[in-house]
Structure 1
């Protein structure tokens, strides 16, 4: 059964990014009823602390050394998370913008799966090479300010370029970003931003 992997990155049950993801997934299920939806909540699913044996395992692999048993067990957790992502034919990431960037739990997930020999490799002649097959990916990014039209009061969107590069580094280039903003402030601009994003997501889902 083909799979869509949804990485849910907001801790709020009533978040704008999650509400938008639900719009997308509802339309996707109607268009692709035979697909499985694999949802991972970075706030509820276990993410290993990136220290100790798993960190040792990363540097052992970089140095071409064999794992100890403890390092192998720790690295296996990262392998399972990376495989869960890599096995999906489609990917949906729904996240808020925090302090111009991404929530630390999303960064945590990226740090865990971005491992040598797992999602990328290094070739002395060619440099860093991705190991994950490209697949269509949608990133829903909700922000308090309006970064889509420039009404951001001088603030800078650091989340979009970071996520684009982090995904490109491991091999995922077919990425569409759907911003939602502003999500705070006067009701009318918030409603317009939400409705516009939801319409775009519903249309994207039918051909995703």
Structure 2
């Protein structure tokens, strides 16, 4: 493993619980892989194109098997760049809060952009959907105000974990290791315990991933 892509989905940057946990994971990974290159995509700062107009037309052109117009080709090139940046990484780290039971809309936007026919998946009427990206280690840190370790939190379901697993597997990245950080609100001792538990899990993951790459 030489390159890690860190997709940051908290607008609070490194002040967030997911950001702090991610920093700890990266530090642990760098201990085992001193030459590791870490690239970042902050979904709140990145220029994520709106999925409409020529870009949407380009997707349907790809699905229909027709050539792009010059404007469609220019729009599609931005999508190809995002997918190439994702596919270039040896491992992927996603750090995100849970918003309204799921993930922030900017992270969903990014995932929608990189999930494209002919780039990250293909469809055949005979065989169905096939992912096109190669499997690689994927770690997703999911911070939430509630504790979902034993099921719903105060009646609220965790919709983020199953979505991330399915969405990432759909394009071929593999079965993600999802590490919860929660609760992030409430009694200080509970918040500290949750952060400590996540840190232990992430340290073990870092050692495992580095060892698998040895």
CA deviation string 1:110-169 (max 9, x = no partner)? 111111000000112101110000101111000110011336111000001111111111
Q: Report how far residue 186 of structure 1 moved.
A: 1.1
**Alignment check: 8 A CA contact 2:152 2:158 kept:** no
CA distance in 1, matches of 2:57, 2:162: 29
**Alignment length (residue pairs):** 208
Alignment of 1:146-185 (within 5 A): 146-150=147-151, 152-185=153-186
Q: TM-score, normalised by structure 1?
A: 0.97
- Secondary structure of the corresponding residue to residue 207 of structure 1: helix
The residue aligned with 1:8 is 8
Q: Report how far residue 94 of structure 1 moved.
A: 0.5
Off by >2 Å, runs of 4+ in structure 1: none
CA deviation string 1:28-70 (max 9, x = no partner)? 1111112211111000111001111111100011111110011
The residue aligned with 1:204 is 205
Q: TM-score, normalised by structure 2?
A: 0.94
CA distance in 1, matches of 2:23, 2:179: 14
Matched, 1:111 2:112: yes
Q: Which runs of 5+ in 2 are unaligned?
A: 210-214
What's the Cα RMSD here? Answer: 1.1
Q: Which runs of 5+ in 1 are unaligned?
A: none
CA distance in 2, matches of 1:2, 1:189: 36
The residue aligned with 1:96 is 97
- Secondary structure of the corresponding residue to residue 154 of structure 2: coil
